[in-house]
């Protein structure tokens, strides 16, 4: 799309620090034009790459889909020993597949503009390292021209609650309400997320078909105020999530704890059997947690239920920035998140708080600690956000029903507070 208008996140810095992490984690599917371009680059074993550099990975023989081949450890075939891209080094940045050039950015329709978000699976995004994103407007517009399809500006807003749809300005007013709730500097992140869960749950029970403009904005203020009264501060006595809520939570958290590099996906029946056994262990929630990737050590499920203390300010900042960037970038509903409505999408995003804290506890407990560090939070967030909106399992009806149930029963709010103390 020519010259797209972009809304950029003001809180976020990012530059690539060549860690090579994205090139080890992602499966890069390529278009026919990209396949031809890479063939024309004439890679040979003398370049240090494993041949062939392209694989047929899906589709019938008459409609093949191709991806970049991978090394034995799951890293891209073009990744060198220093963590650098051989295509980039030999032919320049523009010669790489578009998916590689765009990561970690994501562009989402927002009426007359496009909202830009970032994936927190990148450690530099989590650490806020690099150039302010708002200073990269020119480069992002050039990328936007390549990735935003023609006509995307006509995309309607997602429904609010699965029934009612308002126009873009009113839809964006709800997003601004969420951002406002999360920007409050006087409360910890778990309280702010808890309030946002409360007022969006009320939204899910409301009808909006006759409300527009000022009425919608007045309603949002009322909902936000009701949520603040309901949860004025971090409670002294916490309600434990219900047994069913904990069961649903564990089955969801297992999806976020997975590692799915090409090496993992190629592990065949043995790999799938191991994953099945791990999911069963998560369902029971007793004994040792099966380590779904090497970052995690086997520790008892019970070890993660004890208190790990309140979050420190640096961890609170990372999580606040994460949620605000995802909300400002519309990276939680509609085309950015399995085409789900606003309320359901926000509840899935809110679940990222207890998921990240649970994974951070797992990392801390595995290292013999009873308090979380910023590194635990950062690593847990890179692991969890890799899947959020991208793992097919999370978009399946069973996962979506569990998230809806957690919100309807109040367990979602309880989980947010429980794992933040
Ligand atoms: S082509 Fe280059 S940038 Fe893309 S995944 Fe491979 S090594 Fe990374």
**HEC letters along 223-268:** HHHHHHHHCCCCCCCCCCCCHHHHHHHHHHHHHHHCCCCHHHHCCH
Question: Is residue 264 predicted with pLDDT exceeding 80?
Answer: no
> Beta 113-118 vs 6-7: how paired, if at all?
parallel
- What are 7's strand-pairing partners? 115
Residue among 25, 26, 27, 28 to mutate when testing ligand 1 (max atoms within 8 A of CB): 28
C-alpha 41 to ligand 1 mean position (Å)? 14
- pLDDT given at position 276: 82
Q: How confident is the model at residue 211 (pLDDT cuts 50, 70, 90)?
A: confident
In the prediction, which pLDDT does 326 show? Answer: 98
- The answer to whether the peptide bond before residue 240 is cis (omega within 30 degrees of 0) is no
Nearest protein Cα to ligand 1, atom 8: 23
pLDDT at residue 45 is higher than 60: yes
pLDDT at residue 319 tops 70? yes
**pLDDT value at residue 268:** 67
Q: How buried is residue 333: exposed, middle or buried, by Cβ count under 10 Å (0-12/13-18/19+)?
A: buried
C-beta 68 within 6 A of ligand 1: yes
Q: Is 28 in the pocket of ligand 1 (CB under 6 A)?
A: yes
CB of 77 sitting under 6 A from ligand 1: no
pLDDT category at 294 given cuts 50, 70, 90 is confident
Confidence of residue 4 (pLDDT cuts 50, 70, 90): confident
Q: What is the pLDDT of residues 149-177, one digit of tens each?
A: 989 989 999 999 888 889 999 999 999 99
Per-residue confidence (pLDDT) for residue 163, from 0 to 100 = 87
8 Å CB contact between 116 and 7: yes
Task: Extract the runs of DSSP E, i.e. beta strands, from 42-174.
Answer: 54-58, 65-68, 105-110, 113-118
Can you tell me whether residue 167 is helix, strand or coil? coil
What integer is the mean pLDDT of 397-415? Answer: 97
Look up the pTM and report it: 0.94
For the cut 70, the answer to whether the pLDDT of residue 263 exceeds it is no
Residue 248: pLDDT band with limits 50, 70, 90: very high
* Residue-wise pLDDT tens digits, 349-399: 999 999 999 999 999 999 999 999 999 999 999 999 999 999 999 999 999
Domain boundaries, the chain: 6-154, 156-421
Ligand 1 center from residue 116 Cα (angstroms)? 22
Q: Please check the confidence at residue 72 and state whether its pLDDT lies above 60.
A: yes
Atom of ligand 1 nearest to the CA of 28: 5
Tokens of 234: 């971090």
Atom of ligand 1 nearest to the CA of 84: 7
Give, using CA atoms, the residue closest to atom 4 of ligand 1.
Answer: 100
Nearby residues of 395 by Cβ (< 8 Å), 6 or more positions away: 338
Write 286-294 long-range contacts (CB < 8 A, 24+): 289/362, 292/254, 292/257, 292/258, 292/259, 293/257, 293/258, 293/259, 293/383, 294/259
Residue 373, C-beta contacts closer than 8 angstroms, at least 6 positions apart? 364
pLDDT of 262 higher than 70? no
> Would you state the pLDDT for residue 212?
83
Residue 261 or residue 216, greater confidence: 216
Q: What is the pLDDT of residue 26?
A: 86
Give pLDDT tens digits for 127-149. 999 999 999 999 999 999 999 99
Average of per-residue pLDDT values in the chain: 93
Percent over 90 (pLDDT), the chain: 81
Q: What is the mean pLDDT of residues 80-97?
A: 94
d(CA 246, CA 12): 33
For the Cβ of 119 lying below 6 angstroms from any atom of ligand 1, the answer is no
Cis peptide bond N-terminal to 52, omega within 30:
yes
Give yes or no for residue 291 having a pLDDT over 90: no
**377 in contact with ligand 1, CB cutoff 6 A:** no
């Amino acid at each position: 799309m020519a010259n797209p208008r972009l809304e950029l996140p003001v809180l976020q810095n990012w530059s690539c620090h060549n860690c090579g992490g994205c090139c080890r984690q992602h499966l890069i599917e390529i278009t026919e034009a990209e396949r031809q371009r890479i063939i024309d680059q004439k890679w040979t074993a003398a370049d240090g790459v494993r041949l062939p550099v392209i694989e047929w990975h899906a589709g019938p023989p008459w409609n093949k889909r191709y991806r970049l081949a991978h090394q034995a450890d799951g890293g891209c075939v073009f990744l060198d020993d220093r963590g650098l891209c051989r295509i980039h080094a030999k032919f320049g940045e523009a010669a790489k597949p578009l998916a590689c050039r765009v990561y970690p950015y994501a562009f989402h329709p927002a009426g007359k503009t496009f909202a830009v978000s970032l994936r927190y699976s990148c450690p530099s995004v989590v650490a806020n390292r690099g150039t302010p994103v708002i200073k990269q407007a020119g480069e992002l517009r050039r990328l936007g021209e390549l990735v935003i399809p023609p006509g995307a500006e006509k995309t309607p807003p997602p429904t609010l609650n699965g029934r009612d749809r308002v126009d873009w300005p009113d839809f964006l007013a709800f997003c601004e309400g969420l951002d406002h709730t999360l920007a409050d500097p006087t409360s910890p992140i778990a309280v702010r997320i808890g309030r946002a869960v409360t007022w969006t749950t009320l939204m899910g029970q409301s009808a909006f078909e006759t409300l527009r403009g000022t009425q919608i904005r007045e309603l949002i203020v009322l909902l936000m105020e009701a949520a603040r009264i309901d949860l004025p501060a971090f409670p002294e006595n916490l309600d434990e999530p219900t047994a069913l809520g904990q069961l649903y939570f564990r089955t969801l958290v297992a999806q976020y704890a997975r590692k799915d590099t090409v090496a993992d996906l190629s592990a065949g029946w043995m790999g799938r059997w191991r994953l099945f056994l791990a999911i069963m262990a998560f369902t029971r929630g007793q004994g040792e947690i099966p380590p779904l990737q090497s970052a995690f050590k086997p520790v008892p499920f019970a070890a993660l239920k004890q208190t790990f203390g309140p979050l420190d300010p640096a961890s609170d900042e990372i999580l606040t920035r994460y949620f605000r960037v995802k909300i400002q970038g519309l990276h939680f509903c509609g085309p950015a998140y399995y085409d789900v409505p606003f309320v359901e999408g926000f509840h899935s995003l809110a679940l990222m708080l207890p998921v990240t804290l649970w994974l951070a506890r797992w990392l801390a407990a595995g290292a013999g600690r009873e308090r979380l560090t910023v590194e635990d939070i950062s690593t847990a967030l890179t692991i969890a956000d890799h899947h959020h909106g991208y793992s097919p399992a999370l978009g399946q009806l069973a996962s979506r029903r569990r998230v809806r149930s957690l919100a309807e029963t109040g367990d979602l709010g309880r989980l947010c507070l429980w794992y933040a103390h």
